[in-house]
């Protein structure tokens, strides 16, 4: 069987590959979104911790 | 040596443990996915005698449909545990599972529709199996939306927990719908003590299911870590963690 025949999936290529493609796409989107969201939360928490520390230091002075 | 598992119910001890577990589950998901795809395309029969090669959609559709139901059950169990014992981590685990559950429900519906077109001649019918799976997708969306709409995390956990518990009645309806009612969807090919499926097809489906399961655990753990950071941002241990992270 040639590669073209294998990819053709017996004339069902659009149906089969769209399912596999969509699944892969959704997984990648979820992973990227997860990473971006974590980065955003981490930066926000860092800012908050720095601010609290500064306030504590100022109160001590 | 005794291991106290309740120690890990505290966010401060669970956070580093989850961080160590994520790469293991993600690598397992990647390897199982490669094995599952290899079995699906090279070991499983080339074509079905009725559906031709369109049956290969089954190796994505069935595992995603199973996962959508299984994740909901696990999510409801965490929600119940949160309501009964009032543990913060349980509610966070339930919340972290919902988006991935919704994703699998969405994929099960879309891949089912795409598979339905060449085999049934239609994208969609309002039969019991398809409709109950659509309700499951809406339950996930409702769970996420309700959680996002309530600002106080404890009140949000209670409201979403109740919704998860009420919605669990839909899971057996999805599973038994093809037995209880006359539907266009085929009856289950796989039961606890028997299978009408070829061994290679069964291995492919199980490998893909294990891949999605490992992926779900990895993603949920990652999401719960972010949630812990958000909720515990005013605690000393998060401050220490941030300072340690900034030193690096």
Q: Of A19, A39, A53, A45, nearest to B230 (Cα)?
A: A45
Cβ contacts of A40 within 8 Å, gap of 6 or more: none
CB contact under 8 A, A19 and B114: yes
B114 vs A18, A37, A44: nearest CB = A18
- Output the CA torsion sign for B34, B36, B37, B42: positive
Q: Which residue of A has its CA nearest to B232?
A: A45
Tell me, yes or no, if A7 comes closer than 8 A to chain B by beta carbon: no
Cβ contacts of B120 within 8 Å, gap of 6 or more: B184
* Bigger pLDDT: B148 vs A54: B148
In the structure, what pLDDT confidence band is assigned to residue B2 with cuts at 50, 70 and 90?
low
Q: Of B21, B30, B6, nearest to B211 (Cα)?
A: B30
As for how many domains chain A has, the answer is: 1
For the full predicted model, state whether its pTM sits above 0.80: yes
Mean pLDDT computed over every residue of chain A: 89
Structure tokens at B18: 């989850």
Q: Of B7, B8, B4, B10, nearest to B238 (Cα)?
A: B10
Asked if ipTM goes beyond 0.95, one says no
Domain ranges of chain B: 20-46+56-243
Chain A positions in Cβ-Cβ contact with residue B246 (cut-off 8 Å) = 46
Residue A53: its pLDDT value, please? Answer: 82
| Rounded CA separation B52/B63 (Å) | 20
Share of chain B above pLDDT 90, in %: 62
Q: Check whether B4 has a pLDDT greater than 80.
A: no
Q: Check whether B86 has a pLDDT greater than 90.
A: no
Determine the average pLDDT of the residues in B177-189: 81
Q: Among all chains, which residue has been given the structure tokens 């160590």?
A: B20
3-state secondary structure of B189: coil
A19 vs B57, B222, B225: nearest CB = B57
Count of other CB atoms within 10 angstroms of residue B109: 20
| Rounded CA separation B204/B59 (Å) | 7
Mean pLDDT computed over every residue of chain B: 90
Structural domain of A15 = 3-60
* Bigger pLDDT: A6 vs B84: B84
Residue B140, classified by CB atoms within 10 Å of its CB into exposed (0-12), middle (13-18) or buried (19+), is buried
In the structure, what pLDDT confidence band is assigned to residue B192 with cuts at 50, 70 and 90?
low
Residue B6: its pLDDT value, please? Answer: 67
């Amino acid at each position: 069987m040639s590669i073209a025949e294998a990819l053709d999936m017996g004339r069902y290529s659009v149906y089969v590959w769209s399912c596999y493609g969509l699944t892969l796409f959704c997984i990648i989107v979820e992973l990227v979104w997860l990473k971006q969201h974590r980065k955003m939360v981490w930066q926000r928490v860092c800012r908050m911790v720095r601010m609290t520390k500064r306030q504590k230091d100022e109160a001590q002075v | 040596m005794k291991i106290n598992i309740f120690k890990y119910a505290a966010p401060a001890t669970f956070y580093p443990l989850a961080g160590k577990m994520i790469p293991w589950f993600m690598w397992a998901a990647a390897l199982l996915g490669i094995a599952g795809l290899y079995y699906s395309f090279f070991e499983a029969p080339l074509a079905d005698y009725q559906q031709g090669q369109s049956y290969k959609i089954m190796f994505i559709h069935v595992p995603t449909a199973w996962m959508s139901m299984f994740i909901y059950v696990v999510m409801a169990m965490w929600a119940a545990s949160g309501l009964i014992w009032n543990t913060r981590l349980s509610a966070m685990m339930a919340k972290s599972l919902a988006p991935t559950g919704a994703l699998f429900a969405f994929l099960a519906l879309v891949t089912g529709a795409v598979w339905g077109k060449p085999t049934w001649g239609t994208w969609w019918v309002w039969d019991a199996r398809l409709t109950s799976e659509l309700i499951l997708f809406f339950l996930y969306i409702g769970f996420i939306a309700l959680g996002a709409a309530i600002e106080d995390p404890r009140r949000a956990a209670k409201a979403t927990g109740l919704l998860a518990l009420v919605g669990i009645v839909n899971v057996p309806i999805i599973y038994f719908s093809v037995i209880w009612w006359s539907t266009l969807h085929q009856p289950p090919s796989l039961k606890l003590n028997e299978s009408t499926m070829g061994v290679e097809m069964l291995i492919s489906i199980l490998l893909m299911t294990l891949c999605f399961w490992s992926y779900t655990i990895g993603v949920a753990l990652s999401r719960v870590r972010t949630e812990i950071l958000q909720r515990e941002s005013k605690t000393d241990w998060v401050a220490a963690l941030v300072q340690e992270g900034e030193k690096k």
